[in-house]
Amino acid sequence: MEMVFSDEGGKQQNAHFIQDTYYNIISVHDFPIIPNQHWTHLYPAYKEKLNYRINKFIEIISNSNSILFVRWGAVSVREAVELQSVLSEMIQGKFNILFLDPIAGLKDINEIDWGIKGICTVQVPSDGPNDDSMWDYVYNGLTLTKTYS
């Protein structure tokens, strides 16, 4: 683990940016800056919370009949197939993956057919995470059910 920083144009940071160098994951909000306290003091509570979330995720995917994974961010066909392969080893039930590919300046939503069963890719305007109409479009026809305990 190491501390990394983000260039926020001179804005004061409220939290340390910590990178797990093994998994190449950056934690942005889990280590608030506390005067006279090193970020490592917060690590045990962070690790406990992370372990809880991982175990809960595994429990849910192990006990669900149908799962939709949603990813915001561009991915290649190769990466999509790799993710599908990894998930298929973990999940007994049915699952689908929805990739939302944000495109700067895009005005409309475009569905991309990669011809891969269980994978849907949609190009969306890059400001989409806050656009309810975009979410209404991509989730149209879906229903939520709780199939785990």
For residue 5, the model assigns a pLDDT of 59
Question: Are 73 and 130 found together in one domain?
Answer: yes
Residues 6 or more apart in contact with residue 10 via CB below 8 angstroms: none
Using 50 as the pLDDT threshold, list the residues of the chain that sit under it.
6-7
Please tell me the total count of domains within the chain: 2
Q: Which domain holds residue 14?
A: 2-54
Question: Are 69 and 45 found together in one domain?
Answer: no
* pLDDT tens, residue by residue, 110-124: 999 999 999 999 999
Question: Are 129 and 69 found together in one domain?
Answer: yes
Q: Please indicate, yes or no, if residue 50 is contained in any of the structural domains.
A: yes
Q: Please indicate, yes or no, if residue 111 is contained in any of the structural domains.
A: yes
Q: Please indicate, yes or no, if residue 31 is contained in any of the structural domains.
A: yes
For residue 128, the model assigns a pLDDT of 67
Contact criterion met (CB below 8 Å) for 90 and 57? no
Provide the whole-model pTM: 0.75
